Amino acid sequence: MKTIAFFNNKGGVGKTSLVYHLAWMFADLGVQVVVADLDPQANATSMFLDEERLEELWPDGEHPDSIYGAIQPLLEGTGDIREPHAEDVADNIHLLVGDLQLSGVESELNAQWPKCLDREVRAFRVISSFYRVILKAVEAHDARLVLIDVGPNLGAINRAALICAEHVVIPLAPDIYSLQGLRNLGPTLRRWREEWKDRKSRTPDHAIALPGGHMVPTGYVVMQHAVRLDRPVRAYAKWMARIPGGYHRDILQQNDANKLTVERDPNCLASLKHYRSLMPMAMEVQKPMFHLKPADGAIGAHVYAVQDCYNDFKRLAVEIAKRCGLEGLRPDQCAASAPD
């Protein structure tokens, strides 16, 4: 099992869209994927599921089939985590359903974090609850890959979510806000990694499955930049030029990228352009942009845009798989489902 979190301290960079499309692409590549929606806004869940299904999963009262429902008995002191429900979105995609009620867990996760230092068993159960739910979903569906979507903050929910991840991919927009976010993100990941390592060594009950907390920076993806003649527009060009230096300095603690460009930076996993009208079209029919067909409205120039989008995400998925050590991809199967 490989666990990858997609995280940025800055919101609005296309993080959830990236998770959504990569889940579909990895599924096309023959990989069983669990998507864990650990963002209290539940944006990934709303992308995968229609409103009718959401009403069934989020009725008035309790939500036993959501990620919150899975950890609710532990939070209320009536038991440990429930056997989680993972929604079958497609043959190879299984969703741990997000829940707006998850925002109420922040204070409990914050309170239990220091108690791990005192070797309190319940503290370890609470802090590891997301990870143990993910493990159960992986075992139930024989999944090899977990994609974790989190919100854009540095709070206790994200800390508990991020320690579940072996790898962290950072989506970036070419703007000053993303670069400022890197300055917060790098030190925070390093601090969480060291704090969890200390806490994990103090566990009094080795029967509790605990996350590794590795959070290895795997690279960044530049998202949603406009292009003109295959080059970024001038407004974003200067910020793109600063991304390699910011990533190397703040995330990797290296000062070797002064003259490095995004195109030549080995830490840049991809630079994805804004696909303009494809996204609203895809949201309307609730499918990834690279699965759009003429019947969905993808006609004329859109046909070529769909093909470009497909190739971009396939290259990105293959690169992420290579860097994270995920083997057994079936690109031949993926090619068979490529858009016409």
* Close Cβ partners of 253 (under 8 Å, ≥ 6 residues apart): 186
How many residues belong to the chain? 340
- Grade residue 231 by pLDDT with cuts at 50, 70 and 90: low
Enter the tokens of residue 68: 């919150």
Enter the tokens of residue 6: 């997609």
CB 35 within 8 A of CB 93: yes
The pLDDT of residue 223 is: 85
Q: 82-86, 146-150, 273-277, 282-286: which has the minimum mean pLDDT? A: 273-277
Compute the distance between CA of residue 165 and CA of residue 86 in angstroms, rounded to an integer.
19
pLDDT at 228 over 70: no
How large is the average pLDDT for residues 208-217? 97
- Mean pLDDT, the chain, whole residue set: 91
How large is the average pLDDT for residues 250-266? 88
Considering only CA atoms, which of 201, 116, 203, 207 is closest in space to residue 160? 116
- Grade residue 160 by pLDDT with cuts at 50, 70 and 90: very high
The pLDDT of residue 203 is: 96
The model's pTM? 0.94
CB 221 within 8 A of CB 172: yes
- Grade residue 23 by pLDDT with cuts at 50, 70 and 90: very high
The pLDDT of residue 256 is: 78
pLDDT digits (tens, 9 = 90+) for 87-115: 999 999 999 999 999 999 999 999 999 99
pLDDT at 224 over 90: no
pLDDT at 327 over 90: no
How large is the average pLDDT for residues 214-219? 97
Q: Between these two residues, 153 and 224, which has the higher pLDDT value?
A: 153
- Integer-rounded Cα radius of gyration of the chain: 20
pLDDT digits (tens, 9 = 90+) for 274-325: 787 888 899 899 999 999 999 988 888 889 889 999 999 999 999 999 999 9
* Close Cβ partners of 182 (under 8 Å, ≥ 6 residues apart): 9, 170, 172, 246, 247, 250, 251
In the chain, what are the domains? 2-336 (3.40.50.300)
Residue identified by tokens 């977990």 is 146
The pLDDT of residue 198 is: 97
DSSP state of 205: -
Residue identified by tokens 């003429």 is 294
* Close Cβ partners of 183 (under 8 Å, ≥ 6 residues apart): 246, 250
pLDDT at 336 over 50: no
Give strand pairing partners of 217: 168
The pLDDT of residue 308 is: 92
The pLDDT of residue 289 is: 94
- Grade residue 127 by pLDDT with cuts at 50, 70 and 90: very high
Helix locations, the chain, DSSP H: 15-28, 43-48, 51-57, 67-76, 106-115, 121-127, 129-141, 156-162, 176-200, 234-246, 278-285, 301-324, 331-336
Considering only CA atoms, which of 94, 116, 123 is closest in space to residue 23? 94
Question: Other CB atoms closer than 10 Å to residue 281's CB: what's the count?
Answer: 19
Q: Are strands 145-149 and 86-90 parallel, antiparallel or unpaired?
A: unpaired
CB 186 within 8 A of CB 250: yes
The pLDDT of residue 292 is: 93
Give strand pairing partners of 219: 169
The pLDDT of residue 176 is: 87
